Structure 1
Amino acid sequence: MTGSDPVTTATALRRFAAALCATALFAVGLTSVPAAAQNPITDIEIGPRPFYLVGEMKDGALKDQLAQCKGPFTAKNFSIAHRGAPLQFPEHTREGYIAAARMGAGVIECDVAFTKDRELVCRHAQCDLHTTTDILARPELAAKCSQGFTPADPASGRKASAKCCTSDLTLAEFRSLRPKMDGSNPRAATAEEYMDGTPSWRTDLYVNRATLVSHKDYIALVKSLGLKFTPELKTPEVAMPFEGSYTQEHYAQQMIDEYKAAGVDPRDVYAQSFRLEDVLYWLKAEPAFGAQAVYLDGRDESGEGFDNMKPETWKPSMQELADKGVKILAPPLWMLVTHKDGKIVPSIYAEEAKKAKLGLISWSLERSGPLNTGGGYYYQSVKPVIDRDGDMLSLLDVLARDIGVIGVFSDWPATTTFYANCMKLN
């Protein structure tokens, strides 16, 4: 979800000024950390947001219980940092990862893509550089994009577009880019306007000094912080084998090899993919890593009639997945829940996954903005029973206590850290 929310030039100038003012904050704040190895973070800081969400909850026993939770708070594996901490920090940046660690995420995600020279880097999609970096403002690099910037055409209804991929650049060129908050302006007439699309419920405050990272950089950082890893092998958006020789298996193996080279315990790595074939490859070729590989379930967007309430549409079935060796299944939030009598309850999908003894992880809390208008994609199955941000915690409680998920991705890990501590989860 890109969540484009175009802003005016005046707003953009105010945000730019705020970013400049933020330089002083970086001198003492979360991101004022040198590039050398870190130390494990023991003083977890969850800030005011979790308590704000508690205050926004409907009255009841859960609200009363969470209101009594005062800390101290510790890092929890239940709390998984989705792309770092992208509610406020540019995603997949060193600063976003450190912010997530300070908020108690026990597991940090790197979405893994490859460059033109076949180096692995952390990006949510292979072809998102036009919405997550300043590449379109860099003529020498923009010229290498798979598709250059095309302005919007109000007469025809054509939206502004571009397509810039990690595989268009070398690692050195990728490192030279500056990250920004994910977003674009579909009505843009210029590349500058196109890049100015940060959703109103995020912020550009911490963009000024954010740093892109390679997969190896991410491994070194998370290892030094004493946390666990969840790398997602992104589905390629270019033809494979890439340039005739780099196969999907080479790509899947390279990702695992970088953990082995860094001496990382396989039990600390939750390799992910939306491609079942990748998970099966790891199970066969790297069983120590494959044992807790995560199959990300995106079948709702496959166009093949998937319905989370109709088991006959699940191909393969829950039991077939388990029989293939899959241990952990990770669907979006909405697949695991439905509503009944005005309450959020487990879906048939969740119940059948438990019957097949599949571990469950879900994504992604706090991704789609305020819930007073229904919450968007991630909350579609419970839209009739949500009307406030506090409903995030009600959903989280159903996921944890009624369904038994082992972890939840969040764009602001303080929320999942808070809940996990209050409920004494791992």
Structure 2
Amino acid sequence: MGQPVTDLTPVNADGDMLVIAHRGASGERPEHTLASYERAIDEGADYIEPDLVVTKDLVLVARHENDISETTDVADHPEFADRRRTKDVEGDLINGWFAEDFTLAELQTLRAKERMPALRPANARFDGLYQVPTFADIIALKRAKEAETGRKIGIYPELKHPTWLLQETGIDTVDLLVRQLKKEGLDGADADVFVQVFDVTPLQRLDKMIDTPLILLIRPEGGPFDEPGMTWASMMTPSGLAEVATYADGIGPWMGHVLNDVGTATDLVRDAHAAGLKVHPWTVRKENVFLPPSLRSDASQDGVGDIRGLVKRLKDAGVDGYFTDDPGLVRGK
């Protein structure tokens, strides 16, 4: 069994807000590639965040969604043309190719590509260079970079659609994740690991299985897929947050839940802290289209706005960390 690194500089030793590299340095490299994660580490990210889906032969791999159409070149592989499917994923009808219909060996014949090439054309120059990494690959990279840099590097996996996958395929990604974390010695409270999910029941299960901190992700609207009687709005009230605190250690809310339309703080951080919960909102991005109007550089969508101004507002709001596509910009590297 692998063992946690214990003799290195701790994650976030300076006490600032955690910088969580959203799918790696995805503002500079195609997301969820080893190149993106390594870039983020080199730029000083405290944590790297892989979204985890699963293969037909039960291997956890990093993709934004189980639909791999937008992030790989699968459409260019005629041998997989008959794998195209239409699936109802948590109420969204999606036509594409899905990770759970491929073995790992088949997935690794594909190559990653930029998901938003119109917005990030510079990233597209890396299309075709990188394989789909496994979760084990990412952990190995983390450990290699720890040895190289002399500092701890946290890992912040998200299980994508665990309830839906269990219902539709019988694959239990909660169990697969726990097995992997235990195998790697990353299941303890001091392992510099957060596990995040949008569903409630998987977090409640994880709370009984591992000691790593758990984060309930919160979308802009609606409620958890596995709890149709709940709404995010009700879960973000003081009483709702107190209930979340019985099985999670923090929340990962949409940015708009933390900062209102004019960029001032809502009550969410205060209320979450009162319940004993950490707050890690998503996502800090440099492009104007993702920034509040007052922080945009001009009217273009892809122009670089005042990303550090957004970070300052989050700091003023009292958040404990934040997800970003651009760790180098927020770290000043």
1:284: which partner in 2? 208
Cα distance, 1:221 vs. partner? 1.1
| C-alpha distance after superposition, 1:275-304 (max 9, x if no partner) | 121111111122x12xx1111112624498
2:243: which partner in 1? 320
Question: Is the aligned partner of 1:138 residue 2:77?
Answer: yes
- Further displaced range: 129-138 or 75-84: 75-84
Distance verdict in 2 for CA 1:411–1:312, change over 3 Å = closer
| C-alpha distance after superposition, 1:155-208 (max 9, x if no partner) | xxxxxx84111011011001110110014xxxxxxxxxxxxxx12334212224
1:387: which partner in 2? 296
1:332: which partner in 2? 254
Cα distance, 1:356 vs. partner? 1.9
Question: Is the aligned partner of 1:413 residue 2:327?
Answer: yes
Structure 1 counterpart of 2:57, from 104, 107, 117: 117
- SS of the residue corresponding to residue 50 of structure 2 reads strand
Cα distance, 1:88 vs. partner? 2.4
Cα distance, 1:89 vs. partner? 1.0
For 2:56 and 2:136, locate their aligned partners in 1 and report how far apart those are by CA, in whole Å.
16
RMSD: 3.1
1:225: which partner in 2? 145
1:293: which partner in 2? 214
Cα distance, 1:91 vs. partner? 0.9
For 1:370 and 1:165, locate their aligned partners in 2 and report how far apart those are by CA, in whole Å.
29
Distance verdict in 2 for CA 1:361–1:134, change over 3 Å = same
TM-score by length of 2: 0.79
For 2:185 and 2:275, locate their aligned partners in 1 and report how far apart those are by CA, in whole Å.
33
Q: Check whether the contact 1:273–1:295 (CA below 8 A) recurs between aligned residues.
A: yes
Distance verdict in 2 for CA 1:125–1:276, change over 3 Å = same
Q: Check whether the contact 1:80–1:105 (CA below 8 A) recurs between aligned residues.
A: yes
For 1:112 and 1:210, locate their aligned partners in 2 and report how far apart those are by CA, in whole Å.
17
2:84 partner amino acid: C
Cα distance, 1:112 vs. partner? 0.7
For 2:270 and 2:16, locate their aligned partners in 1 and report how far apart those are by CA, in whole Å.
25
Structure 1 counterpart of 2:173, from 248, 251, 254: 251
| Percentage of identical aligned residues | 25
1:145 partner amino acid: R
Number of residue pairs the alignment of both structures matches: 297
Q: Check whether the contact 1:76–1:417 (CA below 8 A) recurs between aligned residues.
A: no
2:279: which partner in 1? 360
Unaligned runs of 5+ in 2: 1-8, 88-93, 147-152, 298-303
Distance verdict in 2 for CA 1:358–1:328, change over 3 Å = same
Cα distance, 1:404 vs. partner? 2.3
For 1:240 and 1:95, locate their aligned partners in 2 and report how far apart those are by CA, in whole Å.
31
Cα distance, 1:265 vs. partner? 5.8
For 1:201 and 1:171, locate their aligned partners in 2 and report how far apart those are by CA, in whole Å.
28
- SS of the residue corresponding to residue 296 of structure 2 reads coil
- SS of the residue corresponding to residue 181 of structure 1 reads coil
1:257 partner amino acid: R
Cα distance, 1:143 vs. partner? 1.6
- SS of the residue corresponding to residue 161 of structure 2 reads coil
Cα distance, 1:114 vs. partner? 0.7
Q: Check whether the contact 2:249–2:277 (CA below 8 A) recurs between aligned residues.
A: yes
Cα distance, 1:347 vs. partner? 0.6
- SS of the residue corresponding to residue 51 of structure 2 reads strand
1:370: which partner in 2? 287
- SS of the residue corresponding to residue 326 of structure 2 reads coil
For 1:164 and 1:75, locate their aligned partners in 2 and report how far apart those are by CA, in whole Å.
43
Structure 1 counterpart of 2:270, from 347, 351, 354: 351
For 1:92 and 1:201, locate their aligned partners in 2 and report how far apart those are by CA, in whole Å.
15
Mapping for residues 9-408 of structure 1, pairs under 5 Å: 78-127=18-67, 129-147=68-86, 162-183=95-116, 198-203=117-122, 204-226=124-146, 227-236=153-162, 240-243=166-169, 245-246=170-171, 250-264=172-186, 266=188, 267=190, 268-286=192-210, 288-289=211-212, 292-298=213-219, 300-302=221-223, 314=237, 317-322=240-245, 324-338=246-260, 344-366=263-285, 370-371=287-288, 375-376=289-290, 379=291, 382-383=292-293, 385-388=294-297, 389-400=304-315, 402-408=316-322
Q: Check whether the contact 2:295–2:310 (CA below 8 A) recurs between aligned residues.
A: no
- Further displaced range: 115-124 or 262-271: 262-271
For 2:110 and 2:312, locate their aligned partners in 1 and report how far apart those are by CA, in whole Å.
40
Cα distance, 1:314 vs. partner? 4.8
- SS of the residue corresponding to residue 84 of structure 1 reads coil
For 2:173 and 2:232, locate their aligned partners in 1 and report how far apart those are by CA, in whole Å.
31
Q: Check whether the contact 2:50–2:62 (CA below 8 A) recurs between aligned residues.
A: yes
Cα distance, 1:316 vs. partner? 6.8
For 1:262 and 1:313, locate their aligned partners in 2 and report how far apart those are by CA, in whole Å.
34
Q: Post-superposition, which runs of at least 4 consecutive aligned residues in structure 1 deviate over 3 A?
A: 74-77, 236-239, 301-308, 311-316
